[in-house]
Amino acid sequence: MELVISTLDPTHKLPRHIAIIMDGNGRWAELRNLSRDKGHVRGIEATRTTIEHCVRLGIENLTLFAFSTENWNRPGKEVDHLLALLAEALENESSLLLKNNVKVKIVGNREDFSEELQHAISKLEIATQKNEGLRLFIAAGYGGRWDITNAVREVAKKVSAGALSISSITEDSFSEFLSLGNVVDPDLFIRTGGEQRISNYLLWQLAYSELYFTDCLWPDFSEKELEAAIKSYSGRQRRFGLIGE
């Protein structure tokens, strides 16, 4: 990992969990008269930079939106390319992730993925499972509605098997069934690419996250951009429905 000087200081409050919608790869490429595919390739570099910087800063949890349930509806060629790139990245980045003590978990519905991709996923999850540094969640085949529906199904199964009583279902116990389980909710949500929407990301978990939107297109996202988001977060007063201070 190269030396990067951070502009954060101890007065800045660090989020324990950052969730990012990495958007704008296609537009980044179109602006340069390149194919959208090239934008996705450059997006992987920004992803690596971001992960490494989170490691440097000591962030505990990072969740990245790589492929949504709705992204299945893109033209077949783009879908194929995106998923092939994902498989390739999981493979290629493995040693760097191991070196950086990153524990990886892919969250989302992987049933429709190719066998190769499913294999790449399990291989990386197993290889990094004992790591105790940054917990990296990659949302792929992921949709917030899918996540909640899936959790409801799991809960219903337990109830009908007599293993869970309806009265014991609480917000906390229910969230254990979601793909992020008992991971602390994202403190900071970042979306690049200029759109100000959630796009079916972590619908349950973003209930009280601080939202940060930037026009920066994902391939241009850098350590500086990440720190700008953290600084913005750090200056906010979170009230959680209470009154100030």
Q: Which residues bind Mg ion (CB under 5 A)?
A: 23
For ligand IPE, the binding residue among 15, 108, 143, 193 (CB under 6 A) is 193
Q: CA 80, CA 83: separation in Å to the nearest integer?
A: 5
Site for ligand IPE in 201-230 (CB under 6 A): 218
Binding at 22: pick from ligand IPE, Mg ion, none (beta carbon under 5-8 Å per type):
ligand IPE
For ligand IPE, the binding residue among 197, 236, 238, 239 (CB under 6 A) is 197
110 binds ligand IPE (CB under 6 A): no
- Which amino acid is it at 16? R
What DSSP string runs through 126-175?
A: HHHTT--S-EEEEEEEE-HHHHHHHHHHHHHHHHHTTSS-GGG--HHHHH
- 114 or 239: whose CB is closer to ligand IPE? 114
What number of helices (H) and strands (E) belong to the chain?
8, 6
66 binds ligand IPE (CB under 6 A): yes
Binding at 82: pick from Mg ion, ligand IPE, none (beta carbon under 5-8 Å per type):
ligand IPE
- 176 or 195: whose CB is closer to ligand IPE? 195
**What is the sign of the dihedral through the CA atoms of 207, 209, 212 and 216?**
negative
Q: CA 34, CA 219: separation in Å to the nearest integer?
A: 13
Site for ligand IPE in 82-101 (CB under 6 A): 82
Binding at 116: pick from Mg ion, ligand IPE, none (beta carbon under 5-8 Å per type):
none
Give the interface size with ligand IPE as a residue count (CB under 6 A).
Answer: 19
Q: Which residues belong to the active site?
A: 23, 71
Which two three-digit tokens encode residue 215? Answer: 């026009």
25 binds ligand IPE (CB under 6 A): yes
What length is written for the chain? Answer: 245
- Nearest approach in angstroms of CB 197 to ligand IPE is 6
Cβ atoms of residues 175 and 144 within 8 Å: no
Say what angle helices 76-92 and 36-57 make with each other, to 10 degrees.
30
Q: Which residues bind ligand IPE (CB under 6 A)?
A: 21-27, 65-68, 70-71, 82, 193, 195, 197, 199, 218
